[in-house]
A and B are shown apart, each in its own frame.
Chain A
């Protein structure tokens, strides 16, 4: 039996569109109907842009007919509701931006639009990307399609759940401490976070500017590469955008396997890692070995400090970035205050949720007079030590392979009252953000019926190599083809 449209990969749909076996309009209509029927049980979308999507699909069909198409022309995608989309609400999962209609497109959005991708809507997320479960949203929690009582991970959980459930073919996300890779792992899909600076941050609502990076959530590495090809590259409008040329990911992916050495950080396999997840990840390492990789155990000496270092650097930057939400120029505004200080305090008190308030207050604390050296400066030094550990490892090995998340998807409500337990979800992912490294998570098995992800981390600008290694793995395995019950 032929695969249903929504179970196909982006690459397969691109072939179908190019061969005119399906039209962009049919495809968009099919996905919109699935969103309408299935999203009420997932809450993956904040906004569905039906009319704009149908108009974009018609334009895509014209381009396809005229022979002026790219591999993404006519492909239905969704954006995390953190990317500014002109004329469409951009809420960032927050009450404070509930009424914000973006006057411009983020660079990621305009590049995908120019390539002809069709935007079907904006996906739900933890407020301001601060969370690991997609529960901390003004629009309510996102449900995991593998088990509706569990979280899909976060903060890009709406994007992850939508791709896993076949409500969209691919989606954008952002990753400040694991917010693409961890939901990809918990939802059984492939998530990619590029090198810091590879993708423009212009038009992304800023959380922690030295860590934030946009990436993709897709079924396969091949699909992620197709989206990244369009998203990556220099942008005049982001002063941290890297000028380095972007290689042709899909082409390098198909080059012959080369002898590589894979480093396995042994201290990632500690007591904190779920046993069945550990087994699935060891099996994945076995697959790489069968492919001809040399496996070498390594040790990252300072990685245990990545969570504490992150919870200084990220809140410090957030407290500064989020000072722009003041109720004056845009966003929520408190009523009936006659005093400016009270006006600011009430606007922000009403507009932000509890986790965002905690992060801003933490950031304010570590940056306050007398504490700066002890916290922020010390964290930036520890960040350098963590980064040096990775650099030392990459002198010996080509990539690192290990777990993405300590456990598979946990229950909705289980960790919401314990921020520290929530923060520890990102224990294996934060290191790559602190060091600015590209990293990917892909499905490698199951634990108690829930998907497990394996994480690949590469040196700076090694996107092409990561995609290639993941693509070879996905040709040897079929974990990425599994579909949750009720979504086939």
Chain B
């Protein structure tokens, strides 16, 4: 199936990606091509198939619930665009 302009705008909002008005037609056309490609999957009868959970059919291991890492906030925050008193700053979200 192909996507219309509103579909693409909704996806952009869900994915938090801004697309310019000039870009949107191209994105819409290419996404529609991709959806067409993956729609080939619909023709396969998979009623008896269990979806794959792990390529080697293994379970993930567990570890004891212990603190193993040290606090390195200062080092990690060196990459942050905007920090104040060890807090990450973002645009105001509450009035």
Contacts and interface: CB of A to CB of B under 8 A. Distances in A.
A49 interface: no
B18 A329 contact: no
Nearest to B63: A236
B69 to A, nearest CB: 10
A419 interface: yes
Most buried by A among B8, B23, B56, B78: B56
Most buried by A among B11, B19, B76, B88: B11
A350 B80 CA distance: 17
A181 B80 CA distance: 36
B41 A379 contact: yes
Given A103-B75, A385-B46, A419-B34, A345 B52 contact: no
Contact of A361 (B27, B40, B81, B93): B27
Contact of A309 (B15, B16, B41, B60): B41
Interface in B78-95: 78-82, 88, 90-93
A328 B35 CA distance: 32
Contact of A385 (B13, B37, B44): B44
Given A379-B38, A385-B46, A358 B52 contact: no
Contact of A357 (B27, B37, B55, B91): B27
B90 to A, nearest CB: 6
B43 to A, nearest CB: 9
A101 B44 contact: no
Interface in A225-266: 236, 239-240, 242-243
Contact of A101 (B3, B60, B79): B79
Contacts of B44: 302, 305, 378, 381-382, 385
A110 interface: no
A112 to B, nearest CB: 22
Interface string A301-338: 01001011101100000010001001111110100011
Nearest to B77: A329
A311 B31 CA distance: 11
Contact of B15 (A343, A364, A374): A364
A375 B91 contact: no
A194 to B, nearest CB: 12
A323 to B, nearest CB: 8
Contact of A362 (B31, B40, B41, B88): B31
A436 interface: yes
Nearest to B75: A103
A338 B55 contact: no
B67 interface: no
A358 B27 contact: yes
Chain A interface mostly: helix
A196 B39 CA distance: 27
A308 B56 contact: no
A323 B80 CA distance: 16
A343 B91 contact: yes
A352 interface: yes
Most buried by B among A305, A345, A381, A437: A381
A350 B20 CA distance: 10
A131 to B, nearest CB: 14
A352 B27 CA distance: 14
A210 interface: yes
Given A196-B56, A374-B42, A378-B42, A340 B90 contact: yes
B14 A381 contact: no
Contact of A345 (B12, B38, B54, B77): B12
Contact of A239 (B11, B31, B39, B61): B61
Interface in A412-438: 419-420, 423, 434-437
Given A348-B16, A377-B51, A312 B41 contact: yes
Given A357-B27, A362-B34, A384-B49, A436 B55 contact: yes
Contact of B33 (A243, A329, A341, A419): A419
A8 interface: no
Contacts of B53: 380
18 contacts: A103-B75, A195-B56, A197-B55, A242-B56, A308-B38, A323-B16, A328-B80, A339-B91, A340-B90, A340-B91, A345-B12, A357-B17, A358-B31, A364-B11, A365-B11, A381-B44, A420-B34, A436-B55
Interface of A: 99-101, 103, 195-197, 210, 236, 239-240, 242-243, 302, 305, 307-309, 311-312, 319, 323, 326-331, 333, 337-346, 348-350, 352, 354, 357-358, 360-366, 368, 374-375, 377-385, 387, 419-420, 423, 434-437, 460
